[in-house]
């Protein structure tokens, strides 16, 4: 009888997600006695610099105040209620401290401290079991241990002060802390903005499925990114993904594990976790990505392109060989590069000089030569976009050429042209800036990219990444019932 | 035997099978079922019946039943001497069709998962199978069948008739409901299933139950 009762109790416990992302009060257990150190590298410092607006309580028995806030010897000594605790103390002190939090009725505890089951040591595993027992005694919910916790610009929370305070619509749920930080940094650099991010580590309590459940119905979340290694709540996870009406990008790491021991049937001997995850992707529409970089490109595609439901692409860019390679890549990823209508070709012939051997088939080479950006570039993009056989346009530019040949004003010309195209083209379009291995090229590309992304023009660092991301975007929209 | 009874309960078309505990039993059972019949070794310990010489197809007369019975037992005694033998099963020889397999196993994270693919010998050689997590929707069953590489074989080629896909889709949906209803089923193989232009017939079934069920 004990089991069902416990399970019932567990179900009644609220998940306190409002307190996770927008707490009104935060206590930092393990705030440094040295205010200067805490300001520079401590959790209090992060809260202050990130502009957290709620009540703040440093917990430290050795000092009266930290950074101007009255300090308390223990969480039990704080006279007010506490929504959220950040715990950054040596691991042997964590159980007792967590016990106090539960007794006080703290709603959420983020245990930053590492050194538990992830170490694989007996001591670490034992300590984690202790924590698991402690949280059974109350309603306190735990994020972690061994994790970075929460980034939520609107709640004034961040585990890295370098993150932007601008908020967006992406919610990122991540088992990994360091990988998560890298992803946020990469994504931010590509113009993406987050509503919320959480790194949940060893997940002794709140896990990926709990956060996913919240994100699915959270009105501020428009796009969900998941980084998952292990999963304990698979069926609920699967059902939530199936119900979810928002795009979900899913990086499942650790797929290469081997099969599951002795089995008696053909079916079990043929099945591996990779096949089951593949089935999950097909059944739920979650978009699979293999790397953090691919996740970023997929989100750029989803945030800058409208729903595209069929696969015919018009390629526009200078360089026959690059165009042929791009065509092969498109075909490999399930995109079609059809010949253009005669009418489109006739129109293109009026602006493309055939004497330089430029092509007006698909791919189309429009005068983007060494002399600079053709005045006809945007007009050409529009002609291709208007072709009834084309669903969207992908254009590639090679800034290295312009720099190499000392073309003046090319960056401005390209930016202006692409922004104009964004406003005037009749079909979706995306841009690839072919990368070059020198500082001038990098700088120039970053500059143009920033301007374009700000205006919602989808920019990608390679044909490969663009084609993959767009192909998966189309698969996603084709799979939706609406 | 019990496996087939359970599978029948799920609403799946499966051949009638009777257990003969001796050669003396096998002959009247065969007479009753009607020739041609198929004899298979009956042992809970033997999964790959053909591998131990435990299957005889196309048996046409009582005499042949007797010979086949002896040969099966002799072969199994040689190749798997430790196996406990219950006897030999007798079933009506099914008319041949495209061999497919439907199976179920339990994933540690997601629970029951259904498999579909080319069956019989093909499943071992080509491993041309695909999976869906239970419960399956109509969309899932349709895409599951169509994504295997051998799908053109089901569509019919070179004068062969296309198989009845909707009956296979229906079987998958029924099994999805069935395995959710019976969590004590751990693994399941319907192999081979003969797919015909007008339906299908599962000629062998194997169900593995959870320990303690």
Examine the domain organization and report whether B69 and B147 are in the same domain. no
Q: What is the pLDDT of residue A358?
A: 66
Least Cα separation, residue A231 to chain B (angstroms):
7
Which member of B101, B111, B133 has the closest CB to residue A266? B101
Which residues have CB under 8 Å from B26's CB, separation 6+? B20, B39, B65, B66, B69, B88, B90
Query: Rounded to an integer, what distance in angstroms lies between the CA atom of residue B20 and that of residue B41?
Result: 10
Interface test with B, best of A230, A266, A285 (most B CBs within 10 A): A266
Q: Answer whether residue A412 shows pLDDT above 60.
A: yes
Least Cα separation, residue A266 to chain B (angstroms):
7
Examine the domain organization and report whether B108 and B85 are in the same domain. no
CATH number belonging to the domain at A170-256+267-304, selected among 3.40.50.261, 3.30.360.10, 3.30.70.20, 3.90.1580.10? 3.40.50.261
Mean pLDDT along residues A20-28: 97
Helix (H, G, I), strand (E, B) or coil at A139: coil
Q: Model confidence at A102, in pLDDT bands (50, 70, 90)?
A: very high
Mean pLDDT along residues A98-126: 96
- For the ranges A68-72, A251-255, A391-395, A468-472, the lowest mean pLDDT is seen at A251-255
Instruction: Quick: pLDDT tens for A130-154.
Output: 999 999 999 999 999 999 999 999 9
Q: What is the pLDDT of residue A313?
A: 98
Cα-flanking dihedrals φ and ψ of residue A336, to 5°? -110, 140
Residue A417, H or E segment: helix A410-424
Considering the domain boundaries, does residue B3 fall inside one? no
Q: What is the pLDDT of residue A318?
A: 84
Examine the domain organization and report whether B87 and B108 are in the same domain. no
A478 touches chain B (CB under 8 A): no
Q: What is the pLDDT of residue A193?
A: 97
**Listed residue (A242, A248, A236) closest to A280, CA to CA:** A242
Query: Rounded to an integer, what distance in angstroms lies between the CA atom of residue B127 and that of residue B141?
Result: 19
Least Cα separation, residue A273 to chain B (angstroms):
8
Q: Model confidence at B172, in pLDDT bands (50, 70, 90)?
A: very high
Instruction: Quick: pLDDT tens for B81-100.
Output: 999 999 999 998 888 899 99
Mean pLDDT along residues B43-48: 85
Examine the domain organization and report whether B131 and B146 are in the same domain. yes
Between the two ends of chain B, the Cα-to-Cα distance in Å is 17
Least Cα separation, residue A128 to chain B (angstroms):
22
Report the DSSP beta bridge partners of residue B201.
B194
Which of B92, B118, B143 represents a domain boundary (last residue)? B92
Q: Taking phi first (over 0 means left), then psi (-120 to 50 degrees means alpha), and beta for anything else, what does residue A141 get?
A: beta
Considering the domain boundaries, does residue B5 fall inside one? no
Examine the domain organization and report whether B203 and B102 are in the same domain. yes
- For the ranges A254-258, A362-366, A433-437, the lowest mean pLDDT is seen at A254-258
Q: What are the CA-CA distances from residue A254 to residues A140, A228, A229, B16 (Å)?
A: 31, 9, 6, 45
- Mean pLDDT rounded to a whole number for chain A: 90
Q: Model confidence at A264, in pLDDT bands (50, 70, 90)?
A: low
Q: What is the pLDDT of residue A1?
A: 33
Query: Rounded to an integer, what distance in angstroms lies between the CA atom of residue A435 and that of residue A479?
Result: 33
Dihedral over Cα of B171, B177, B183, B184: its sign: negative
Query: Rounded to an integer, what distance in angstroms lies between the CA atom of residue A375 and that of residue A388?
Result: 24
B142 touches chain A (CB under 8 A): no
Instruction: Quick: pLDDT tens for A217-263.
Output: 999 999 999 999 888 889 999 999 999 999 999 999 886 554 445 56
Q: Answer whether residue A431 shows pLDDT above 50.
A: yes
Query: Rounded to an integer, what distance in angstroms lies between the CA atom of residue B68 and that of residue B90?
Result: 11
**B208 contacts in A (CB within 8 Å)?**
264-265
Examine the domain organization and report whether B125 and B166 are in the same domain. yes
Residue A27, H or E segment: strand A25-29
Question: Angle at the Cα of A156 (from A150 to A159), degrees rounded to 5?
Answer: 35
Query: Rounded to an integer, what distance in angstroms lies between the CA atom of residue A196 and that of residue A21?
Result: 7
Which residues have CB under 8 Å from B157's CB, separation 6+? none
Chain B, nearest residue to A237 by Cα: B110
B140 touches chain A (CB under 8 A): yes
**CATH 3.40.50.261 residue ranges for chain A:** 170-256+267-304, 313-479
CATH classification of the domain holding B178: 3.30.470.20
Examine the domain organization and report whether B103 and B205 are in the same domain. yes
B81 vs A374 pLDDT, higher one: B81
What is the full DSSP assignment across A11-22?
HHS---HHHHHS
**Listed residue (A346, A170, A166) closest to A246, CA to CA:** A170
Report the DSSP beta bridge partners of residue B117.
B101, B129
Q: What is the pLDDT of residue A354?
A: 56
Examine the domain organization and report whether B52 and B124 are in the same domain. no
Tokens of residue B62, six digits: 């009582």
What is the full DSSP assignment across A48-102?
HHHT--SEEEEE-TT-SEETTEEPBSSGGG--S--SEEEE-S-GGGHHHHHHHHH
Helix (H, G, I), strand (E, B) or coil at A410: helix
A265 touches chain B (CB under 8 A): yes
Q: Answer whether residue B160 shows pLDDT above 90.
A: no
Which of B37, B70, B92 represents a domain boundary (last residue)? B92
Examine the domain organization and report whether B74 and B157 are in the same domain. no
Mean pLDDT along residues B75-83: 92
Specify whether the CB–CB gap between B184 and B92 falls below 8 A: no
Considering the domain boundaries, does residue B1 fall inside one? no
Mean pLDDT along residues A162-173: 96
Which member of A232, A267, A283 has the closest CB to residue B140? A283
Interface test with B, best of A267, A275, A276 (most B CBs within 10 A): A267
Chain center to CA of A133 = 33
Tokens of residue A26, six digits: 């935060």
Q: How large is the ipTM?
A: 0.85
| Domain assignment of residue B46, given as a range | 16-92
Q: What is the pLDDT of residue A7?
A: 44
Count of structural domains, chain B: 2
Query: Rounded to an integer, what distance in angstroms lies between the CA atom of residue A209 and that of residue A198?
Result: 12
Query: Rounded to an integer, what distance in angstroms lies between the CA atom of residue A245 and that of residue A248?
Result: 9
Which member of A231, A266, A279 has the closest CB to residue B132? A279
**A209 contacts in B (CB within 8 Å)?**
none
CA atoms within 13 A on the CB side of A445: 24
Considering the domain boundaries, does residue B143 fall inside one? yes
Q: Answer whether residue A61 shows pLDDT above 60.
A: yes
CB contact residues (below 8 A), chain B span 83-102, against chain A: 101
The CATH architecture assigned to A2-146 reads 3-Layer(aba) Sandwich (3.40)
Residue listed under structure tokens 């593995």? B208
Mean pLDDT along residues A160-189: 94
What is the full DSSP assignment across chain B?
-HHHHHHHHTT--B--EEEESSHHHHHHHHHHH-SSEEEEEE-TT-S-TGGGT-EEEEE-SHHHHHHHHHHHHHHHHHH-TT----EEEEEEPPPP-EEEEEEEEEETTTEEEEEEEE-THHHHHT--EEEEESSPPHHHHHHHHHHSTTHHHHH--TTPPPP-HHHHHHHHHHHHHHHHH-TTEEEEEEEEEEEETTEEEE--EEEEEPTT-
Q: Is B113–A276 a contact, with Cβ atoms under 8 angstroms apart?
A: yes
**Listed residue (B39, B99, B97, B95) closest to B67, CA to CA:** B39
Query: Rounded to an integer, what distance in angstroms lies between the CA atom of residue A89 and that of residue A83?
Result: 19
Residue listed under structure tokens 């430290």? A60
Examine the domain organization and report whether B197 and B112 are in the same domain. yes
B124 touches chain A (CB under 8 A): yes
B125 touches chain A (CB under 8 A): no
Tokens of residue B183, six digits: 């969590």
**Listed residue (B27, B26, B56, B25) closest to B39, CA to CA:** B56
The CATH architecture assigned to A313-479 reads 3-Layer(aba) Sandwich (3.40)
A266 preceded by cis ω (within 30°)? no
């Amino acid at each position: 009888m004990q089991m069902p009762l416990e399970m019932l109790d567990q179900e009644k416990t609220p998940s306190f997600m409002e307190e996770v992302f927008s707490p009104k009060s935060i206590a930092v257990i393990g705030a440094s006695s040295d205010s200067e150190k805490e300001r520079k590298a401590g959790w209090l410092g992060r809260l202050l610099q990130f502009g957290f607006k709620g009540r703040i309580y440093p917990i430290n028995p050795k000092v009266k105040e930290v950074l101007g806030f009255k300090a308390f010897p223990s969480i039990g000594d704080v006279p007010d209620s506490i929504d959220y605790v950040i715990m950054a103390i040596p691991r042997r002190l964590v159980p007792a401290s967590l016990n106090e939090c539960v007794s006080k009725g703290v709603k959420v505890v983020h245990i930053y401290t590492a050194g538990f089951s992830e170490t694989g040591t007996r001591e670490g595993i034992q300590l984690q079991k202790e924590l698991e027992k402690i949280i059974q005694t109350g309603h306190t919910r735990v994020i972690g241990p061994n994790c970075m916790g929460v980034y939520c610009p609107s709640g004034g929370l961040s585990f890295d002060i370098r993150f932007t305070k601008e908020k967006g619509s992406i919610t990122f749920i991540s088992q990994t802390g360091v990988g998560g930080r890298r992803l946020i940094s990469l994504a931010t650099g590509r113009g993406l903005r987050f509503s919320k991010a959480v790194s949940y580590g060893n997940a002794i309590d709140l896990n990926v499925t709990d956060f996913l459940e919240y994100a699915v119905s959270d009105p501020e979340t428009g796009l969900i990114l998941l980084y998952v290694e292990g999963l304990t709540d698979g069926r609920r996870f699967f059902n939530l993904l199936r119900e979810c009406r928002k795009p979900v990008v899913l990086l499942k790491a650790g797929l290469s594990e081997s099969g599951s021991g002795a089995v008696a049937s053909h079916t079990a001997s043929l099945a591996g976790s990779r096949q089951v995850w593949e089935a999950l992707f097909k059944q739920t529409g979650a978009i699979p990505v293999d790397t953090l970089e691919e996740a970023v490109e997929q989100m750029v595609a989803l945030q800058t392109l409208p729903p595209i439901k069929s696969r015919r692409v018009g390629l526009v860019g200078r360089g026959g060989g690059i165009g042929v390679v791009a065509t092969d890549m498109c075909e490999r990823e399930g995109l079609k590069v059809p010949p253009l209508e005669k009418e489109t070709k006739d129109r293109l012939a009026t602006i493309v000089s055939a004497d330089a051997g430029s092509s007006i088939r698909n791919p189309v080479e429009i005068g983007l030569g060494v002399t600079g950006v053709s005045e006809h570039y945007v007009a050409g993009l529009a002609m291709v976009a208007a072709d009834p056989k084309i669903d969207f346009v992908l254009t590639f530019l090679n800034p290295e050429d312009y720099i190499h040949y000392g073309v003046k004003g090319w960056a401005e010309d390209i930016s202006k042209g692409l922004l104009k195209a964004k406003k005037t083209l009749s079909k979706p379009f995306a841009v690839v800036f072919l990368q070059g291995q020198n500082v001038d090229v990098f700088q120039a590309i970053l500059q143009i990219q920033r301007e374009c992304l700000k205006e919602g023009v989808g920019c990608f660092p390679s044909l490969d990444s663009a084609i993959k991301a767009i192909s998966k975007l189309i698969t996603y929209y084709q799979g939706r019932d609406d | 035997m019990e496996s087939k009874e359970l599978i029948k309960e799920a609403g799946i078309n499966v051949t009638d099978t009777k257990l003969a505990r001796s050669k003396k039993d096998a002959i009247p059972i065969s007479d009753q079922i009607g020739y041609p019949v198929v004899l298979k070794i009956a042992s809970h310990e033997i999964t790959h019946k053909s591998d131990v010489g435990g299957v005889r197809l196309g048996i046409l007369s009582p005499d042949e039943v007797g010979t086949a019975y002896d040969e099966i037992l002799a072969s199994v005694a040689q190749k798997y001497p430790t196996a406990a033998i219950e006897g030999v099963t007798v079933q009506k020889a099914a008319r041949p069709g495209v061999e497919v397999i439907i199976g179920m196993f339990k994933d540690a994270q997601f629970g029951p998962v259904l498999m579909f693919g080319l069956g019989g010998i093909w499943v071992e050689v080509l491993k041309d199978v695909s999976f869906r997590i239970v419960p399956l929707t109509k969309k899932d069953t349709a895409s599951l069948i169509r994504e295997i590489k051998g799908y053109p074989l089901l569509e019919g080629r070179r004068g062969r008739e296309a198989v009845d896909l909707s009956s296979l889709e229906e079987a998958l949906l029924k099994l999805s409901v069935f395995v959710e209803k019976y969590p004590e089923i751990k693994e399941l193989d319907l192999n081979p299933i003969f797919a015909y232009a007008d339906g299908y017939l599962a000629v062998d079934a194997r169900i593995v139950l959870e320990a303690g069920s």
